Structure formats: structure tokens, C-alpha cells
Chain A
């Protein structure tokens, strides 16, 4: 149904209602379409008046829909009126109505009312992050930065994750202010990015850059740049933090991987205690390795080739410089078959150590264990993104450590497009030697950012950086 263009009389509404195929839900459908077509609120009012006159009651859901229409058009006085009516009729409101009222009021000059409403919501339930977003934005817009910061901290204590929008508002409205307290807050936000491995998107990055450059008397300069594998910033030639975990972090991660990923709730699900013990003694006797290879994963790189040939090429490729290799596989690889030739397997076993797990065991868990046990220098080779293993870890801090460690230690191996016989068969995409995270030395800031708003893949890290440094 299309809503009428102008207010209607009671008789006209009656006629419309009767001609509608389901008169019981006529009002609801009509309000929905009014919201969709953004009809004038006078039309909605006339419908409400008609309803009030004919059955002297208007349902809660219809009032909320009317409220949504008012919020959509920024009719502040109407929002207040509807709120008064709701308060009179109902003891408590639910979150939908609260969201609308807070949003409506915070966008108007009556934004302080939204704050009192937030207090009211807190009595009944935990406000949503959208509530906080509206209030913080309103406070920022009116240059009440301390109030905004208070709300922001309150939100964090309630375990709500702030939207990037909120953070951007902070940077946008603090531009040009000389307020050391506020500056500390904003640095705090940047450190929040660091701790939670959040990468700002392009527009947020731009806000950050403009804010830095606008700090009076500090002379910050921002440049967009790409940082190469060496980890040196081409603009200010600062060397980025390297990606190694600290001793404590490293121990914590290995402990958690053994506990959560390999054993989990039931050791038998991924391996068996006997097998794991056998693997442990195997690894301990041969430590340390330089590279651990997921044999089965690597053997599928070129689908046209025999699996053992793929593996053979990869091992040859990696076996330079006397690197100590460990290849993990399953027992079925030892059985002579069309894909696994015994002679080639024999030859490979001269170049690398092999461990064959049971056919129904998961070899990835062993891969992680062997790499971690071999120490910080050891890398591993697989095309797997290991997301399922990351998901097994119990807390987010350990998951961040895992991602950081993975970035620094995983070598991706890919089929090279030019399959010339004389060049190396594979492209090795080396692990990152530097850490991709927001970082500072006080006089410089380096902030990795994403090009697009929504980053789909958690394993993909940005290569673009914002370099900020002070000029004296």
C-alpha cells in the first residue's frame, strides 16, 4: 500500500481500511509504508487521531512506529510528546523505543535530554552501543569532550565494543584543540587499536591524520606509505617493531596450544595420548628444526602433478642452507600407491625428518607443537589459514598472540604462474619480519590501515601505513 499524500478524515480512513485485504493489520502495514515512503507526519497524525477516536486506544507497536517516523524526519517536539505519552501509559519501555528516542533527541538541540534518558535506560537494562554512540556523538558535536570521554569509558567498562564511528567522531571533533587531557584520551584510543589488533579504515585514518596535523605547536606531519619486507618506513626511515613474541607471551602461547588445540576437551578427538607422547619424544630427540612442513597440504599445490612430486619439489626448494626440516604426514603416505611412490619418499627421507601420524589424526596440531617447541626462529609451511585452530583457543588475548605469531612464522607456498623449468618451482611468501600493528616511539606513530570499510578476511593484513612524525 502506498500511504496517502495528505491527512485524511475519519471516513476516508475507514474506507481505506475496509478496502484493504486484511483490516486487522491495516494500521501496522500503513505505518510501515509511511516509514518507507517517508510520508509527512501529518498523515500519520491523522491516522492516529482516527484510531484514537474510533477505538480510543493505540497499541505500543504503532506508537513506536510513529516515533520511528518522527525520528526519521527529526521532529523533536513530537518525539518528546510521544515519549511523554509512552511514559504515562507504560511502566517501562523496551529497547527499540529507547533507541529511537535517544537517537532522535541526540540529533537535536535537546541532546541533553538524551543523556537523562540514558540514565533511565541504565536502570532497566544495559544500554546498547548504539545508545552510547548517539550520546557520544551529540556530546562531541557540542564540544563537550570530557563528557564524551566519560561516556566512552563507561561504555568500555560495560564490555561494549565501541564502533569505529564513535572513535572517528572523537578525532574529528578534537581537531585543533590544545588540551593535554584530551590528547591523552586519543592516544589511548590508538593504543586500544594496538591491543585489539584493529586496523582503521581509510576515512578513519584520514581523520587521525588531520587531527595529528592540527595539534597546535607540535608540528606533526603525516604521510601515506607502503612498507616493504625489510620493515623500514620509507618516509622517516624508522624501523618497525619486530614480530617476535616476548618470552612470557611465547610460553603462554605454547602452553595454550597444547592445552586447547591438541588436547581440547578430549585428546582422542584429534590424536591419542600414545601417539602424542610418541610425537613428543620424536620431536625432543631431534630439536631444533628450522622449518616444519605440513606434508599433505603442500602435496596438493599442483593438482596435475603427483602428490609426492609436489612434496619433493617443496622439500628441495626449502632444503637450501642446510636448514633442518621436519615434514609431517600421515601413515597412508608410506603405502606405495599411484600418488605416493616409495622411491621418492625414500629419497625425501634423506633430506628431512618425517613424522607420520595415524590416518585419522589431525596433523595440523602437531605442526603447531613442533614449530613452537623448536623455538622462535623456526618457521612453518602450509597454505592453511589455521582458523579452526585459532578458534579452539579460549580467550581473545591468546588468539591475538596466535595471530601475531602466525604472521611472523608462517611461510605461504604458492604455485608459480610461470612454470619454467629453470626457475624455482614455487613462490615462497615469507613471513613478516615486522609486526603489523599500531606502534609509536613518542615522536613517531605508524598506523596500518585498510583500504575498504569492511575487511572480510581475518588472516589478511594491511600493507598500507600512515606514517606520522614530528618535525623540529
Chain B
């Protein structure tokens, strides 16, 4: 009896009570639990709790009666067996709650099978999954926008009808004309800027795709600038992966771009003494932007930080090299010093227009530096150390606080 009572007390305290308190239904549930106690006391000895009326294995019958999952068996006959098997595995992973995209194309499935290791497979799937997620949310947003616009139009048509659209259209097309005029000018008189397209062998397919994306961004920001560069894509091979990706992005416009694309090397086009290869590994630091020089940027995304690849290229050709003076102007905090191609473009354009390093280096991502250098460097360094020390202490404090919080939570749970 005693032990049964203890058990009951525990039951009340542990199971029902916290929920009741938590959700403010104290009275309701408590009366329920009290009835439970009573019934239990009555049946004391037979040791049957009321919930044992439940058939705990009932779910098994239900599950067994159900037919086989349709999704797992739905494999198209045209697919070869390995593909079908891979598709099944993906489906099971998705059911198990891993990060797996819902829709996988055959091409993606083939890449998946070709992944050399388990972790490579996982990474690839996660990449696809996130891509799908982004696409979905993008789609949802555009639809919402559409709806809102329709609503707006409806409400607007009721009141009045301003004809602004044609004007807007005219404006964008004329702006395009102006841009194109400027770029055409730069192709005759402008300062050349070379993108070295000889790094395809050093990159994975995804890195090449990223490179092309960054190049597209660079090109567009160059086109919109007041005084554009004359962009050269050198060492560009037709039917290379670069070419394919560019066509994916530009489609028909690829042939009409106002840039120079050539399979020649820049050393064949320009005098060697005018060329400067920009690379983060260079021991020389750029002091000023020289309007008579031709700067070369390596079209390469290296996610695995392949140090010295572009420096090796410059060394091989015997070219002068330079790195941006990031250390000199910025208090670097983290991240690699190699910047994306569009950031390089922004920086170079700003330098070309103003020659102001501070303005130009605004385009370095904010997460990579803590501030601009305007005091003597050693003073700033001590300040930075102090900040870091404080941060560390703060983090420790936070940890301690969190621990205390968790600990008190644990106590209340008991």
C-alpha cells in the first residue's frame, strides 16, 4: 500500500502536474488525476493501471494491415537498375528526415552515384536540398508579390489610370543604350582589364559555375559604371566548361556582349611590362591604381584555398604581381584574403574613378574586417587584442550564464 501510494504520488508529481501547471489547466487535469488515483486505489492488488485498458500493440495491426508504401515502389521502368536503386535510397533517406531534395533529376542522380565517398554524397544532397528550398521560397514570394500587385492594380483602376508604364519602359531601354554606348567607347579608348580563364583544370564543376556567375555580375556592374573597363577574357577556349556556363547565363546575348573574348594569352596581346597580375599571394602590395597598366584577375573560385596557383601562373610568364593593400587599410579579422571577382571589379572601378582606397575597400565583405585603419597600426592592434580578450571573457560569461540557466531548468524539471 505504502509503495503504491508513493508510486501514485510520483505519478501525479511527474507526469500530469508539470503539464497542468505549464498550460494553466491546473484544475481540469488535477481532478482527472485525482480520479486516476482513486481508481488505482480501488484496484490495488491486482496492480492494473487504468491505461492498461489500452491495447498497446494495436498500432502494429494497423501498420501491418496497410499496404506497402507507394512512393518507394514507384520507379520508372526506363531507368536502369542502379539509378532506380539510388532513387529508392534517396526516398528512404528523405523519409528518415535527412536533408534530401524532393525532386531529383536523372542527371543529378548520376552525379550522386558518381560521388566518391559517403560524405561527398551527403554534401551534394544537402546542396541540392538547400537549392530546392531557396527556389521554393523564391517562387512563393513572387506569387505573393504578384497577388499584391493585382490587388494594387484593382484598387488603382477604381480610382484613376496613370499611364506610367510606357515611360518606364522607355527609360530602361534608353538607359541600356547609354550603357552600351559607354562600354562601346571603352572598347575603343578604355583601359583594358583582363580575366585569365586558364584555371578550369584547377576547379570542380561547381566552382566553375560559381566563377561564371561572379563574372556575369562583374560584367554587369562594369557596364553600369560611369567609366567602364574594356574587359578581356583571355585564354578562353571554345567548348570549355566556362563557355557552356556562360551560354547558360547569357543565352543569345553571349554573342552581343561588348567584351573581348579570345583564346590568346594576354602576353600575346599586350606588352609584358604593362601587365600586372593581381593575386592575394603576391609579396608586393599595390600602392596606387595605375591608369596605364593592364591588370589581370584570375577567374578562379578556390573553395579549398589552393595557395599560390595564380602566383605560379604569373611567375611562369614572368609578370609583375600585386596584392590589394588589405592589411594596410583594414583591420582584418577573419576569412581568406581572396575576394570574389565581382568584389574585385567593384574595387577596381572605384579606384579607377576616385583613387580612394577607403572608398574602394568598402566592397570587402564586412564580416572579414573589424574596421578601417586610421590610427597607427600597433595602437590598433593592442585595441583589437583588448577587444578579443573582452569578447572571450564575455563569451565565458555567457557560457556561465547559459549553464546556470540550464542548471536551474534541470532543477525545476526535477
Contact = CB atoms under 8 A, between A and B. Distances in A.
Interface string A23-60: 00000100000000000001001101101110011111
Contact of B63 (A64, A89, A270, A360): A89
B97 A124 contact: no
B254 to A, nearest CB: 31
Contact of B68 (A16, A59, A91, A268): A91
Interface in A75-107: 81, 84-85, 88-94, 96-97
Interface in B385-413: 413
Contact of A266 (B62, B69, B92, B312): B312
A5 interface: yes
A52 B11 contact: no
B315 A272 contact: yes
Interface string B18-51: 1100110100000000000000000000000101
B313 interface: yes
11 contacts: A5-B11, A7-B56, A9-B51, A28-B97, A49-B54, A52-B62, A53-B58, A57-B66, A89-B68, A96-B96, A268-B315
B68 A88 contact: yes
Interface of B: 10-11, 14-16, 18-19, 22-23, 25, 49, 51-52, 54-60, 62-64, 66, 68-69, 72-73, 85, 88-89, 92-93, 95-97, 283, 307-309, 311-313, 315-316, 413
Interface residues of A, number: 46
Contact of B92 (A7, A53, A92, A270): A92
What 6 pairs across the A-B complex have the smallest Cβ distances?
Answer: A268-B312, A52-B59, A60-B95, A52-B62, A94-B92, A45-B56
A268 B316 contact: yes
B58 A52 contact: yes
Report which residue of A49, A58, A359 has the largest number of chain B beta carbons within 10 angstroms of its beta carbon. Answer: A49
A286 interface: no
Interface in A268-298: 268-270, 272
A266 B309 contact: yes
Contacts of A90: 68-69, 72, 92, 95
Contacts of B58: 49, 52-53
Nearest to B58: A49
A16 B96 contact: no
Contact of B14 (A5, A58, A97): A5
Nearest to B284: A360
B280 to A, nearest CB: 13
Interface string A348-369: 0000000000011000000000
Contacts of A48: 59
A7 B51 contact: yes
A441 interface: no
Contacts, number: 121
Contacts of B64: 84-85, 88
A6 B72 contact: no
Contacts of B66: 56-57, 89
Given A7-B51, A52-B59, A60-B95, A124 B85 contact: yes
Report which residue of B25, B52, B63, B85 has the largest number of chain A beta carbons within 10 angstroms of its beta carbon. Answer: B63
A45 B51 CA distance: 12
A205 B62 CA distance: 52
Given A57-B66, A61-B96, A42 B56 contact: yes
Contacts of B59: 45, 48-49, 51-53, 58
Contacts of B308: 269-270
A73 B397 CA distance: 38
Interface in A225-279: 266, 268-270, 272
A269 to B, nearest CB: 4
A125 interface: yes
Contacts of A270: 308
B23 A124 contact: no
A186 interface: no
Given A56-B62, A92-B88, A92-B92, 14 more contacts: A6-B49, A19-B23, A45-B59, A46-B56, A53-B58, A53-B62, A61-B97, A85-B64, A89-B63, A91-B69, A91-B72, A92-B85, A269-B312, A359-B283
B174 to A, nearest CB: 49
A442 to B, nearest CB: 40
A244 B107 CA distance: 52
A345 to B, nearest CB: 21
A19 B29 CA distance: 13
A94 B97 CA distance: 11
A91 B73 contact: yes
A149 interface: no
B89 A124 contact: yes
A9 B53 CA distance: 9
Contacts of A97: 96
Contacts of A59: 95
A4 interface: yes
A429 interface: no
B43 to A, nearest CB: 15
A2 interface: yes
A105 to B, nearest CB: 18
A124 B54 CA distance: 38
Contacts of A125: 89
A428 B312 CA distance: 37
A274 to B, nearest CB: 11
Contact of A94 (B15, B68, B93): B93
A23 B168 CA distance: 48
